A = this chain, B = another copy of it.
Amino acid sequence: MLDFTHDPQATSWVASAQAAGGDFPIQNLPFGIFALAGSAERPRGGVAIGDQVLDLAHLAAARVLEGPAQAACEVAAGPTLNAFMALGQPAWRALRHGLFRLLQADAPAALRDAVAACLVPQAGVTMKLPVEVRNYTDFYTSVHHAMNMGNLVRPDDPLTANFKWLPIAYHGRASSVVVSGTDFHRPMGQARPPGAAAPVYGPCSRLDFELELGFFVGRGTRLGQPLKLSEARERLFGLCLLNDWSARDHQFWEMDPLGPFLGKNFCTSISPWVVTMEALAPYRLPFERPATDPAPLPYLDAPQERADGRLDIQLEVRLQSATARERGLPGDRITATSFRHQYWTVAQMLAQHTVNGCNLAPGDLMGTGTISGPTAGEAGAIVELSRGGALPVPLPATGEERRFLQDGDAVILRGWCEQPGAARIGFGSCQGTVLPALG
C-alpha cells in the first residue's frame, strides 16, 4: 500500500539522504543494530538515513514522537530487533510514518534540532546482527539456479519433480549466521575426489558464495497453526542481503540422502540493514508463470499474490581478490540479476513453512535460496558461472581468473530497487573475506 512515505519527490533535511545513487533516502528507512565504535554503551536499534544512523534510543528519550510511534520506537531501541518485529505491522507503520515526518525537509525547526542531536555518522559505528537468530531456514526457489545445478549433477533430468509444486527448503544453522564484515576461515572437512574410492580430509577445494536475500518473520505463530497465504504478507518484517557460503566438495559428498549440512553451516553472512516490506511496496510486480507450468495448489495461491507478489530487487556480486585490494581496486562485478525472476514469492515461502503447523518466532531468518536469472551472466554462485569449475571466470581488473574462491577473496553483494515513479532505495552491502584454513 503506497502512502506519503513513498513519494519520490520527498526529501530530507539530512543532506546526504539526497546523494545520487545513495541507498538510504527518506523513502527507505531501514532498521539495524549498531554500537558506537570505541564506546561501552550497549548496542541498540538505529535507522539509516543518508550517511547517518538515527539512534533510536536517544530518539525515544527525546520524546519527539507520539502515541504508537513513540511506543514502537522504545521497543526498536532495544539490543536486538526481535521485540520490535514481534509488534506487528501497525506498530512498524506507525514508526515509519513518525520517522518520515521528523526527517522530511519541511519538519519544524525545533523538531529537526532535537532529531539532529540523535544522528551519528555511519562511519563511526559498528553494525551488529539485527536480530538474535533463533531459527534459520533456507529455501531453494530460483528455477534458473535449480536448472543450473541440476545440469551439473544430472543433466538428463535437471529439475526435480517437486520444484514447480512447492517452495523447497531445508533448515540451516542459526549459530553461524554473522553480520557483513565478519571474515571466516576456509573450512576443513571430508570430500571424495572425482573417481576416488575413498574420501579425504582437508581444506575445502571448491569454496563458493551464494547470492540470496534474507527475510525476517515479524509476529510469530503458534505450533499447529498454519498461516494462510493471505495472512503471510503481514507477518513479514523485511529483507536483507544474504550470502550462504558453500563448500561444494564437502556438500556434495555429505548430502545424500539428508541434504546439505557442513557444506553450509560454517558461515552465513547477512547485511546489517533490514529494508522493510513497507519500503519495498513500490517495487512489486505481478506473479507470472509460463502457461505450461502447473497452477499453484490453492493453499499457495491468492489474488493478492498474483497481483503483486514479486519484488523487483536488483542484485550484483563483486569479487575483490587480495591482489585487487592491494592495488586499491574494487574488484569485478561477476554477476547481476533481479529477484523478479524467482519462481516462488516470499509470502508463498512463509505459507509453505507453516502449512504443517510449524511455528515461527519473531526475527526468524529465511533465505530465498540462490538467486540466478535466466541468462548465463545472471548466475548467483561461482559453481554456476564456472560450470562446476570447468570454465574460468575472468577478473579483468587484475587479469586473474577463478573457478572457485581463493584465500583472500572478498565477495561483496549489493541490492537496490528502482522503478519509474519511485525513489531509488538500496540494501547497503553484505561482504566477507576468505581467510586461509586453520587445519
A residues apposed to B, CB below 8 Å: 134-135, 137, 140, 160-162, 165-166, 168-176, 178, 184-185, 187-190, 192, 198-199, 201, 204, 223-226, 247, 250, 253-262, 265-267, 294, 297-299, 352-353, 355-361, 364, 438-439
- Verify A358–B176 contact, CB threshold 8 A: yes
Find out whether the CB atom of A174 lies under 8 angstroms from the CB atom of B134: yes
Q: Which of A168, A226, A257, A355 has the most CB of B within 10 A?
A: A257
Within the assembled complex, what's the spacing in Å between the Cα atoms of A364 and B265? Answer: 15
CA distance A263 to B315 in the complex (A): 33
**B169 and A201 contact, CB distance less than 8 A:** no
Show 28 A/B contacts (Cβ-Cβ < 8 Å), sorted by A: A134-B175, A161-B256, A165-B198, A166-B199, A166-B254, A169-B261, A170-B258, A170-B259, A171-B173, A171-B265, A175-B358, A175-B361, A175-B364, A176-B223, A178-B223, A187-B357, A188-B357, A198-B294, A204-B356, A223-B267, A226-B438, A226-B439, A255-B259, A258-B259, A259-B259, A262-B353, A266-B358, A357-B438
Is there contact, CB below 8 Å, between A357 and B173? no
Which of A170, A225, A438 is most buried by chain B, counting CB atoms within 10 A of its CB?
A170
| Alpha-carbon gap, A226 to B201, bound state (A) | 13
From residue A129, how far is it (CB to closest CB) to chain B in Å?
12
Among A160, A190, A199: residue with most chain B CB under 10 A: A190
A247 to B356, CA, bound (A): 10
Closest to A182 in B: B223
Q: Which residues of chain B are near A258, meaning CB under 8 Å?
A: 140, 168-170, 255, 259-260
A134-B175, A176-B359, A247-B356 are contacts. A190–B262 as well, Cβ < 8 Å? Answer: no
Are A170 and B173 interface neighbours, CB within 8 A?
no
Q: Which residues of the partner chain B approach A169 to less than 8 Å between Cβ atoms?
A: 258, 261
- Nearest Cβ on chain B to A422's Cβ, whole angstroms: 35
Q: List the 9 closest A-B pairs by CB distance, nearest first.
A: A259-B259, A187-B356, A171-B171, A170-B258, A258-B259, A266-B356, A265-B358, A262-B356, A160-B256
A356–B262 Cα gap in the complex (Å)?
Answer: 7
Q: By the criterion CB–CB under 8 Å, are B201 and A356 in contact?
A: no
Report the bound CA distance from A369 to B38 in whole Å. Answer: 46
Having A160-B257, A175-B361, A255-B257, one finds 20 other A-B pairs with CB under 8 Å, namely A134-B174, A135-B173, A135-B175, A162-B256, A166-B254, A168-B257, A168-B258, A185-B357, A187-B356, A188-B355, A189-B355, A199-B297, A201-B298, A201-B299, A224-B266, A225-B438, A247-B356, A258-B259, A259-B259, A262-B355
Which residue from chain B places its CB closest to the CB of A225 in the assembled complex? Answer: B438
B259 pairs with A188, CB closer than 8 A:
no
Contact B135 A356 (CB under 8 A): no
A160 to B256, CA, bound (A): 7
Partner of A170, one of B166, B171, B204, B225: B171
Give A140 to B254 CA distance when docked, in angstroms: 11
Q: Which residues of B contact A198 (CB under 8 A)?
A: 165, 294
Judging by beta carbons under 8 Å apart, are B224 and A170 in contact?
Answer: no
Closest residue on chain B to residue A357 by CB atoms = B266
**Residue from A192, A261, A360 whose CB has the most chain B CB atoms within 10 Å:** A261
